Structure 1
Amino acid sequence: MGSQEKSGFETEDIGFTVLVVLISLAAAYLLAPYFGPVLWGVVAAIMFQPLTARLATRLDGRKNLAASIVLFGLITLLVVPTILLGISLVNEATMLYEKIASGQIDFGRIFQQVMSALPRRARELLSEYDLTNFETIRREFGSSITSGLQTIAGRVLTVGQGALSFIAALGVMLYLSYFLLRDGDRYGEKFRTCLPLRPATRDALIENFLLVVRATMRGTVVVAVVQGFLGGILFSSLGIEGALIWGVLMGFFSLLPAVGTAIIWGPVAIYLFAAGEPMKAGIVLFCGVFIIGMVDNVLRPILVGRDTRLPDFVVLIATLSGLELFGLNGFIIGPVIAALFIAVWNHHRDSRRAREEVLTGSPVPVQTDAVASRAVEESVAHPS
């Protein structure tokens, strides 16, 4: 009788587990169309919920008012400027595309100027890879540039069609952000207690997740905005066409370690030198190295500190893969997945070491290799 009851309980437990999994998958499928707004709503709450809690304390516990004030600040300082930037970017891409289509911007002439300014040895090296033929370059790169600008410019035609979905997505993000800002602690505790993990493991992984998200936003986004802004101002002051587009691209490429914004200002400096403007080329080179480039070295340690660190090659792969798989959302998702991957395996290593110490009754030797030890110490995610 007892074995039958036990078997029945096990069957019911398995059935309920299957039901939980299926319902969770159905909920994820239901949220898929608004994955981006939900993600950014959660990120906004993670970033600003501590500020909301402090503000609520100063307002005698009025959480509704505190969440409303913080949300209004987000809309004023982040949402509205981003929308205005997007409109300006589309307009500038449209004008730039029209100039390329009409021949006002001649890539063939620019290419010849650059090639003639290169040293003979450099031209010989490029000729080995068939990179001295403009038609080859145009097929490889020119069509991509033109089609990219055409895609951005084409947004003008579809803005009316996509306005409703954009407003709906923005509304979902802000609405979700408000409730998470107001009741984030309560929802977080419910989520924490629902996870089927041991308390120590659960708390360590959640803490790591929060650290990674906050460090990603503080370090990556702020540095990208500052570098893109400085690059746009620099190009605009020098009269370079499409300064806003280049500034946005510099902000985007600042997500990538090692190369970063040099992908944009480096070729521009070469072109200006080839076009007979060495003074402008020198200014771009100097500002790119000592102003735009130093922003990353100065700001990121201040904003991120040692909360999150990943080897640069992990950051590069995680960021590129995230962008490829999830679009713009991937620059958060990629590093977070990489950081949690390392955190999970580090926790597994520590748990296994602790079990071995209990079984043997003596401490298990830790890793002595200096490089590996340093990598372990800095194993929580550095977002670019």
Structure 2
Amino acid sequence: MQRVFEFRSFLVFLIFVSLLFFALLMPFLGAIFWAVALAIVFAPVQNFFSRHIKWKNTATLCTLFCCTMIVVLPFLFIISSVIAECVKIYASLSSGTINPAYYFDEIQKAYPFIQDIFNQLNLDPAQVKEKISSFALRVSGFVAQQTVHLGQGTLSFIMQVAIMLYVAFYIMRDSKMLVMKLHKALPLGYKREQLFFAKFTEVTRATIKGSLIVAIVQGTLGGLVFYFLGVSSALLWGVVMTLFSLIPMVGASIVWLPVCIYFFAVGAVLKGFILLFFGAVVIGLMDNILRPVLVGRDTKLPDYLILLSTLGGFVIYGMNGFVVGPLIATLFIASWEIFSLEFNYDDTDESENEN
């Protein structure tokens, strides 16, 4: 009896201390999560250097250097450029240099059926135009305010990046030992733990390689075609297309298609056809071409689950949600698959055995 009491007391104490430790790590959970994600994605690179360099620390530093050059530095450059573009656009909207009402008038002139739609819906085009202008100003103001706050928090952001790289170094170097310790600590059973670890690795790698890289390629191509066609703030629109490409069934077309319609409206037919062809064929096919190559045999959720888990992840976890959402969905499915296999039985088979 005393032994049971001691065990339960220790269990309560263990949970209490674990919660306290989790609270300590709360400010750095994003950095820790991305450190784990980078360690998983760059595991083949780490294995390559480990085979050719006998010093473990040196091999890990080489992997971390590749990670920094391929991921971290380009990301920091894009973030700084986007901040500058957002502030510039807000200033142009505030001063009237960019006037959304002008673009609305141009589209309305080119497509007369829009006026018929307004008449059927009892809408005043002047009020719609005013609402569009005020909405554009509010949205750009909000984005500019957020980017300025991000710029003011540069020191905190750099610290998060430094913590991410620091943690990633130890996870890359000691990954086998950490996995062994997790196996010993978790009370789920070795086979179940292996399955969960495999699912975690597969989904993280598949989401980052199959979703993020494809979205970056689509956003980059969209930004480049915008730049060559003379669309202002091409870099910013490229980043916006990247973000929308992360959302299934939405994609980059939500950005480039309205611009294509505007080109046709103002008589820039050649630009319109170039953008339409490039957007529908080149950008649109990137997902079908790149995803099978990058993901390979990694786990792929059904499209409807990807959509729901990605959107839910964005709402709850912010930008981290595009990985966290599908990961939670996959672990949920894996858990119920294990449950159905181990704890359910077929009534028909049992009745046949009885007969």
- Answer whether TM exceeds 0.5 for this pair: yes
Cα pair 2:60 2:172 within 8 Å, conserved: yes
| AA at the equivalent of 1:293 | G
In 2 relative to 1, CA 271–27 (structure 1 residues): closer, same or farther, beyond 3 Å? same
Q: Percent identity?
A: 36
Q: TM-score scaled to structure 1, two decimals? A: 0.85
Cα pair 1:53 1:63 within 8 Å, conserved: no
- Cα distance in 1 between the residues matched to 2:304 and 2:19: 33
Q: Displacement, 1:352?
A: 3.2
| AA at the equivalent of 2:277 | F
- Cα distance in 2 between the residues matched to 1:129 and 1:209: 50
Cα pair 2:100 2:136 within 8 Å, conserved: no
In 2 relative to 1, CA 130–48 (structure 1 residues): closer, same or farther, beyond 3 Å? farther
| AA at the equivalent of 1:176 | V
Instruction: State the match for 2:49 in structure 1.
Output: 55
1:21 partnered with 2:15: yes
Moved more, 223-232 or 51-60: 51-60
Gaps of 5+ in 2: none
1:124 partnered with 2:105: no
Instruction: State the match for 2:259 in structure 1.
Output: 268
Instruction: State the match for 1:65 in structure 2.
Output: 58
- Cα distance in 2 between the residues matched to 1:198 and 1:108: 63
- Cα distance in 2 between the residues matched to 1:344 and 1:111: 51
Cα pair 2:90 2:144 within 8 Å, conserved: yes
- Cα distance in 1 between the residues matched to 2:151 and 2:213: 31
| AA at the equivalent of 1:340 | L
Cα pair 1:46 1:210 within 8 Å, conserved: yes
- Cα distance in 2 between the residues matched to 1:63 and 1:266: 50
In 2 relative to 1, CA 68–144 (structure 1 residues): closer, same or farther, beyond 3 Å? farther
- Cα distance in 2 between the residues matched to 1:126 and 1:318: 36
Cα pair 1:219 1:300 within 8 Å, conserved: yes
Per-residue CA distance 1:7-61 (angstroms, 9 max, x = gap): 222222222222222222112111111111111111111112342133112213x
- Cα distance in 2 between the residues matched to 1:23 and 1:154: 39
Give 2:38's match in structure 1, choosing from 22, 33, 44.
44
Q: Secondary structure at the match of 1:16?
A: helix
Per-residue CA distance 1:72-112 (angstroms, 9 max, x = gap): 11111211111111111111222222221121211112112
In 2 relative to 1, CA 177–133 (structure 1 residues): closer, same or farther, beyond 3 Å? same
Instruction: State the match for 1:194 in structure 2.
Output: 185
- Cα distance in 1 between the residues matched to 2:70 and 2:109: 47
- Cα distance in 2 between the residues matched to 1:351 and 1:31: 35
Cα pair 1:111 1:134 within 8 Å, conserved: no
- Cα distance in 2 between the residues matched to 1:160 and 1:93: 12
Cα pair 2:223 2:234 within 8 Å, conserved: yes
Instruction: State the match for 2:211 in structure 1.
Output: 220
Q: Secondary structure at the match of 2:248?
A: coil
Give 2:339's match in structure 1, choosing from 348, 354, 359.
348
Cα pair 1:115 1:132 within 8 Å, conserved: no
Q: Displacement, 1:306?
A: 3.9
Instruction: State the match for 2:106 in structure 1.
Output: 113
Q: Secondary structure at the match of 2:222?
A: helix
- Cα distance in 1 between the residues matched to 2:129 and 2:215: 29
Cα pair 2:38 2:168 within 8 Å, conserved: yes
- Cα distance in 1 between the residues matched to 2:247 and 2:158: 31
- Cα distance in 1 between the residues matched to 2:155 and 2:255: 34
Q: Displacement, 1:167?
A: 2.1
Q: Displacement, 1:297?
A: 1.0
Cα pair 2:90 2:137 within 8 Å, conserved: yes
Moved more, 178-187 or 97-106: 97-106
Per-residue CA distance 1:279-327 (angstroms, 9 max, x = gap): 2111111111000111011101111134222221211111111111111
Cα pair 2:215 2:243 within 8 Å, conserved: yes
Cα pair 2:206 2:300 within 8 Å, conserved: no
Instruction: State the match for 1:366 in structure 2.
Output: none
1:258 partnered with 2:249: yes
- Cα distance in 1 between the residues matched to 2:72 and 2:314: 21
Instruction: State the match for 1:368 in structure 2.
Output: none
Q: Secondary structure at the match of 2:250?
A: coil
Q: Displacement, 1:65?
A: 0.6
Moved more, 149-158 or 171-180: 149-158
Gaps of 5+ in 1: 1-6, 364-384
- Cα distance in 1 between the residues matched to 2:121 and 2:3: 70
| AA at the equivalent of 2:350 | T
Q: Displacement, 1:175?
A: 0.4
- Cα distance in 2 between the residues matched to 1:318 and 1:264: 23
RMSD, matched Cα: 2.3
In 2 relative to 1, CA 342–155 (structure 1 residues): closer, same or farther, beyond 3 Å? closer
Give 1:133's match in structure 2, choosing from 109, 120, 125.
125
Instruction: State the match for 2:91 in structure 1.
Output: 98
Instruction: State the match for 2:225 in structure 1.
Output: 234
Instruction: State the match for 1:379 in structure 2.
Output: none
Instruction: State the match for 2:288 in structure 1.
Output: 297
